[in-house]
Each structure stands twice: as C-alpha cells, then as structure tokens.
C-alpha cells in the first residue's frame, strides 16, 4: 500500500496531524511519503526517516505573523499557484506512483489527484472554499476551489466548521500526534514551564508579550526562534509533542495542531484570539469548553492573569489517541 500525504504548509497544524496519520499508516505496513513545503526537520522531529517530497500545494491565507493575514497578497499568490499548468505539473508528478492520497486540505492538490487518476480523500477541520467565502476579496476563488473539492470524499476532523461541498463526509474526531512527556534539562521541578507555541509564522513583539514571573520558565522550540532572556529556554533534542506534554501550560493561538496535541497530552492552554480567521471560532469555543483561558489583550499583564486563571482551575485528563488510527483505517479501506 503506497500512500501519499499531500499537506498544506499553511502553519504547521495541517502537517502535525498528518504526521500522526503517517505513523498509524506505517504501523499498518504502508509505504508513506509526505509532500509539503514545510522544512523536513519539522517532519523528522516526529518521524525520523520519513521521506519528504518538497512541494508547495496550498496558499491558504498569506500571513505576516500568526495573528495577521494579508488578503491582497493571498489573492496574488492564488493566481500563481492555481494556474492550470501548475496543477497539470503536479498531476504528472503523482501519476502512477501511489495507491491513494490523503490531501490536507489543498483544493489544487485534490484536482491534481483527479487528473492523475489517483484515488484521494480530503482531510481537515475546515475547507478553503468555505474560508474564502468570508472575505470579499477572496470570495471569487471559492467557487473554483469548491469545484475541485466536489468529486472527493472528506474526513471531518473536529473541532471545526462542517466541511462543505464534498461528495460525502465521514467524522474522524480529533486527529493529532503524541509522544510521552519529556521535561527539558535545566528546568527545575519547582518551576512552572510554559511552552510558547506560535508555529512557523511566529508573533511580532513576542518578548514584550511574555511577563517576567518568578518561578515561570518560558520554553521555545523550532520552528520558533530563541529569545535572549534569562527566563527563556530554547529547547532542542525533544520531540515537540513530548514538550507539549511536559509543559505546565501552553501559550498559543487557536490552531488545530496545538489544540489536538494539548488534548492528547492533557495540557492546559492560554490563547490569544484570532478574530480575523473564520475557523478560529470553532477552536476557541472548544478550548473554552475544556477549561482553557483566553488572554484578554496582547499584553504581558493579561498573559500573567490568564496563566493564573488556568492554574487555579482543575487539571484535565488526556483524551484517547484514536483519531489518526481511524483515518489510517479509512484510507486502507479506500485502497482495498
């Protein structure tokens, strides 16, 4: 069974959950390759040796940081990356190499699979046609992307808005990756370790956002960059999900990857809102429902207040790690 995972590099949440799926497929004896524009080291942090095919498959929303979208730039890049010759070129690269593909959740890649005669399922917690309808500047693209999605079955991850316009959908719940917790060296047992997680886009003025709190150590790891502060540690040599599980809290924005990994690990979250991103509302509601805390403003005192509120509440239990295996089973059924 030869499986291609064609994955958006719009942030790393799409890739993170598909690495959990890749691990489940490998356990079933499948040969798996991941197509992505994300750095290979992000893949190999979790699955060393997994073959990565460099490929830009998606536009998503162009961003200057994790909270700020650039819609004019998005429209310009869409015109380049959804051209007919680009899709035909991707179809030529895929043709005859695989038994099936999982596409998260790039519409152009779905269309390339169709042209290549490669059975494909979409997998995600939202779809780009639905997202683009929320922005007048991008709305004209929604119909084209929806037509590329329409022939395919979709696997609905949660939380998220209902996937729209597919041939059918199957619920698969929360899909993520997990490693047993591993606390970094040099962080005392009496310290509160807070993982700062804003993905590949990072966050402007991050230093000013992190309060200096006695006994709190801020952890950062790739793809984020170090901060030159005595209360910050840049961590290497520990798989990111293991770091998520070892943290006493995660400071982040509403993104699917970190939502799933904190759910699987049972780690509490404080998050800054992303009001410009339509899919964020579903994630924020789910985070608040499980006891996570929203930061009331982009200030250090507000972050300190949110952490105090989180640590004053009850601890949470990890959820069962079954979503990735469910996706792997459904894809195997597609091949057989």
Dig out the tokens for 9 from the structure.
């590099």
pLDDT in tens, 274-331: 887 898 999 999 999 999 999 999 999 999 999 999 999 999 999 999 999 999 999 9
Residue 312: which H helix or E strand, with range? helix 300-312
In angstroms, the CA 160 to CA 173 distance is 10
Dig out the tokens for 208 from the structure.
């000013």
The architecture of the domain spanning 192-312 is 3-Layer(aba) Sandwich (3.40)
In angstroms, the CA 293 to CA 270 distance is 5
Q: Which residues of 191-216 are buried (b: 16+ CB within 10 A; e: fewer)?
A: bbbbbbbbbbbebeebeebbbebeeb
Segments making up each domain of the chain, as ranges = 2-177+323-335, 192-312
pLDDT in tens, 221-274: 988 899 999 999 999 999 999 999 999 999 999 999 999 999 999 999 999 998
Q: Does residue 200 register a pLDDT over 70?
A: no
Q: Does residue 66 register a pLDDT over 80?
A: no
pLDDT in tens, 145-176: 999 999 999 999 999 999 999 999 999 999 99
Give the three-state DSSP class for 90.
Answer: helix
- In eight-state DSSP terms, residue 227 is -
- Extended beta strands in the chain, E state: 2-7, 31-36, 51-54, 63-65, 68-69, 100-104, 120-124, 153-157, 168-173, 192-197, 216-221, 232-235, 249-252, 269-271, 293-294
In 3D space, the residue among 145, 150, 141 whose CA is nearest the CA of residue 74 turns out to be 141
Query: Residues 6 or more apart from 230 whose CB is under 8 A from it?
Result: none
Fold of 2-177+323-335: Rossmann fold (3.40.50)
CATH topology agreement for domains 2-177+323-335 and 192-312: yes
């Amino acid at each position: 069974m030869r499986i291609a995972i064609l994955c958006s590099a719009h942030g790393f949440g799409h890739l993170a959950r598909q690495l959990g799926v890749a691990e489940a497929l490998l356990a079933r004896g499948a040969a798996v390759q991941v197509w992505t524009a994300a750095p290979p080291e992000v893949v190999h942090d979790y699955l060393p040796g997994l073959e990565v095919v460099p490929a830009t498959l998606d536009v998503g929303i162009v961003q200057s940081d994790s909270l700020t979208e650039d819609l004019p730039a998005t429209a310009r890049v869409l015109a380049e990356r959804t051209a007919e010759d680009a899709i035909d070129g991707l179809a030529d690269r895929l043709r005859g190499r695989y038994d099936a593909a999982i596409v998260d959740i790039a519409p152009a890649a779905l269309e390339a699979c169709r042209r290549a005669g490669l059975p494909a399922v979409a997998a995600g917690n939202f779809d780009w046609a639905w997202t683009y309808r929320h922005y007048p500047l991008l709305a004209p693209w929604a119909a084209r992307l929806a037509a590329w999605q329409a022939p395919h079955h979709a696997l609905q991850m949660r939380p998220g808005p209902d996937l729209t316009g597919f041939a059918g959908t199957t619920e698969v719940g929360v899909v993520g990756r997990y490693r047993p917790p591993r606390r970094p060296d040099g962080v005392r047992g009496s310290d509160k370790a807070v993982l700062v997680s804003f993905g590949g886009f990072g966050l402007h003025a991050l230093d000013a956002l992190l309060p200096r709190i006695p006994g709190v150590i801020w952890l950062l790891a790739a793809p984020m960059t170090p901060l030159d502060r005595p209360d910050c540690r840049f961590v290497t040599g520990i798989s990111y999900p293991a770091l998520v599980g070892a943290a006493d809290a995660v400071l982040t924005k509403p993104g699917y990857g970190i939502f799933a990994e904190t759910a699987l690990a049972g780690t509490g979250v404080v998050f800054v809102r992303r009001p410009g991103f339509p899919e964020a509302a579903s994630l924020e509601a789910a985070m608040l429902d499980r006891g996570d805390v929203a930061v009331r403003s982009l200030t250090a005192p507000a972050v300190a207040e949110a952490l105090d509120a989180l640590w004053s509440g009850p601890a949470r239990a990890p959820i069962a790690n079954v979503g990735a295996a469910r996706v792997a089973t459904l894809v195997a059924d597609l091949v057989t």
